[in-house]
Amino acid sequence: MKFIKSLYIHKQLYIYIAIASVCFLLSYWFPVLYAIASILTIALLVIFFIDLLLLYQPKSAISAKRVLPDKFSNSDNNPVPITITNKYSFKTYLDVIDELPKQFQKRDFSYKTKLNPQQNHDFDYLVRPVDRGEYYFGHLNIYVSSILKIVKRKYQFQNEQMVMVYPSIIQMQKYDFLAISNSLTEIGLKKIRRIGNTSEFEQIKEYVQGDDFRTVNWKATAKRAQLMVNQYQDEKSQPVFSIIDTGRVMKMPFKGLKLLDYAINSTLAFSNVALKKHDKVGMLSFSKKIEAFLPAINKLTYLNRILENLYNIDTQFSDSDFGLLYAQLKRKVTHRSLLLLYTNFEHLSALKRQMPYLQAISKKHMLVVILFENTELDHIIKENAEDLQSIYHKTIAEKFAFEKRLMVKELQKYGIQAILTPPEKLTINTINKYLEIKARGLL
């Protein structure tokens, strides 16, 4: 039974059988074809058994391994490496079919290659998950043929391998690496001039060439009879919270990824940058209830706890309670903090309903409301309207885009910072706003 399940026939054999059958049928009128058909049939049977013997004589002549990481990064291209070894004593032709997790909805993955005797072959393919959670890979199937290509032998490896899909670790590492190499401007991060004194006094030290003359301490200079300067350090350990709205407005997808997942990926990357800047980082998620709350801490190891909490966040199909958010912040966040609120309002009236709570929060904290541009409407706005229906669609799209800009103006009118960003530029724009606030000493 196991032998039969692993045996597959090449389509060439069916073609040869069809030719032999036609020859037998035509031999009634053309007797010479009977001899040709008989020879062809015998030859096919001989080649068939030779091919069977070649492929099945070794008990197991192909080994393969799918090497999965512990975690996949959501919304990024993740490599899946595969290693194959040919232990046959002849050249083989392989068709590799990997059973991908159901979340990818892809059932036609195939990779073809050929291997010489005793040859190893490594390759990888890319998968892009758009949902967090557990992803189960099925069998790694390999169909092997000899040079005769009459039959194929099926090998199966590694059933039910599971990998966890977490918020975008790749994106976080990218910004971390660029920050270390001082190449952040290449991806859109801005250098912002400092305004005013946003530094804390650290110590008095001897002047060395290159120190700012404006920091000379004349009293200490007079006492020591040598030039002394004040040394300052940037303000550190300021509390910064990422607040994620998990209500129904964050369910909207853009390029296959929900707004919530854009916010989660941004929170992870931003938290890593803020921790490297020695600030305290915390997070909160809410809808009808407070789903997760992490106090602000400035330890790099804290990022793992943030990651685990972000992994479990999901959207709710209800309107979010901003009154509950205000009460939670009042009770739990007692020091003035920078609050980055990831949310979305489709209409100005929806924003105005929540404005009293946002104003109350901004009186005690530095509040930044992050809104999303509906980039799906851009092509409607830019295309030429040639009939009544397209004119109607373009007008409605422009109205939605205009209302988004009005929301930013409405927030700024009440002294609330705001970001209106395309989803794909969310992380860049969020980090830029954080650096701007730090540079201007607004916190």
- The per-residue pLDDT for range 130-170, each reduced to its tens digit, is 999 999 999 999 999 988 888 889 999 988 899 999 999 88
Same domain (yes/no): 275, 298: yes
Pick the more confident residue, 7 or 323.
323
Domain count, the chain: 4
Pairing state between β 239-245 and 280-286: parallel
What CA–CA distance (Å, rounded) separates 367 from 416? 6
Same domain (yes/no): 148, 182: no
Going by pLDDT thresholds of 50, 70 and 90, the confidence category of residue 317 is confident
Going by pLDDT thresholds of 50, 70 and 90, the confidence category of residue 191 is low
Q: Which of 158-162, 282-286, 300-304, 310-314 has the highest mean pLDDT?
A: 282-286
Same domain (yes/no): 127, 243: no
**Amino acid letter, 436:** E
Same domain (yes/no): 347, 364: yes
List CB contacts of 351: < 8 A, sequence separation 6 or more: 345, 407, 410, 411
Same domain (yes/no): 66, 214: no
Same domain (yes/no): 7, 34: yes
Domain-ending residue, one of 30, 56, 82:
56
Same domain (yes/no): 78, 105: yes
CB count within 10 Å of CB 355 equals 15
Domain residues for the domain of 81 are 62-166
The answer to whether 17 and 40 are in contact (CB under 8 A) is: no
Same domain (yes/no): 105, 37: no
The pLDDT value recorded for residue 182 is 47
Same domain (yes/no): 339, 415: yes
**8-state DSSP, 209:** T
